[in-house]
Amino acid sequence: MFSQIISKIQQHHARLVAVSKTHPVEKILKIYHEGQRIFGENRPQEMLEKHQVLPVDIQWHMIGHLQTNKVKYIAPFVAMIHSVDSLKLLQEIDRQGQKHQRVIDCLLQFHIAKEETKFGLDEDEAQEMLTSQEYGAMKHVRICGVMGMATFTDDHQQVRQEFRQLKGIFNQLKSRFFARDDHFREISMGMSGDWELALEEGSTLVRIGSLIFGTR
């Protein structure tokens, strides 16, 4: 099962974020020994605890909503933060990056779903952020692309259309702000229920949990 998922992802030149939240380190190690190196968590303290006991070459991706006061737990080691949804959060990531003498890779999370509850920016907010003086002065964050979650629905057309919307946002930002920046290349979209659709629509990072680890 795992190898089939991997080969499909590789056919699309994308990468897998194995979403290991709530799952024990033994299960993570099993996938690690099959070659997986990128793991996704949504709670800073849980990510820190797992980082401390698991192999150092694991790349930890923060995929869940991140509170400003919790950036400090993951700043020394996190490989990518997918869930940047405010200037205030980006400023704190920059501060913590400076403190630990590193540049932290980030994605801007966009609200593409019809559901009210999902976090994320809209295009105007992102534009405001990227043109702000504060962002212009940051030296310890690097924005590498965008992330989004589609509506939880069986309506494939709707999900596909939301993924297209995110890809459109990526293209816009790329041409307006990151045309000369090779690091701006990631589109994080697709979960257990919609990852194949996401790949078809141009995902570069699919975040798959339950399909790999079983239901929580």
Ligand X SMILES: *Cc1c(COP(=O)(O)O)cnc(C)c1O
Q: Which residues bind ligand X (CB under 6 A)?
A: 19, 21, 42, 63-64, 149, 191-193, 207-211
Which H or E run includes 132? Answer: none
Is the CB of 42 or the CB of 203 nearer to ligand X?
A: 42
Nearer to ligand X, 138 or 144 (CB): 144
CB 184 within 8 A of CB 178: yes
* Per-residue b or e along 30-60, where b marks 16 or more CB atoms closer than 10 Å to that residue's CB: ebbeeebebbbbbbbebbbebbeebeeebbb
Compare residues 138 and 170 and give the one whose CB is closer to ligand X: 170
Q: Which residue's C-beta sits nearest to ligand X?
A: 209
Q: CB of 72 within 8 A of CB of 100? A: no
In whole angstroms, how far apart are CA 20 and each of 61, 90, 113?
10, 24, 23
In whole angstroms, the minimum distance from the beta carbon of 16 to ligand X comes to 11
Looking at beta carbons only, is 44 or 64 nearer to ligand X? 64
- Give the nearer residue to ligand X in terms of CB position, either 96 or 109: 109
Is residue 111 within 8 Å of residue 122, measured between CB atoms?
Answer: yes
Q: How far is the CB of 42 from ligand X (least distance, A)?
A: 5
Smallest separation, CB 132 to ligand X (Å): 26
The CB-of-22 to ligand X minimum distance in angstroms stands at: 9
Q: Least distance from C-beta 191 to ligand X, angstroms? A: 4
Q: Which helix (H) or strand (E) holds 68?
A: none
Min dist CB 150 to ligand X, Å, is 10
β-pairing verdict for 38-41 and 15-19: parallel
Cα 157 to Cα 12, 154, 160: the distances in Å are: 20, 9, 5
Strand partners, 7: none
Separation CA 188–CA 163 (nearest Å)? 10
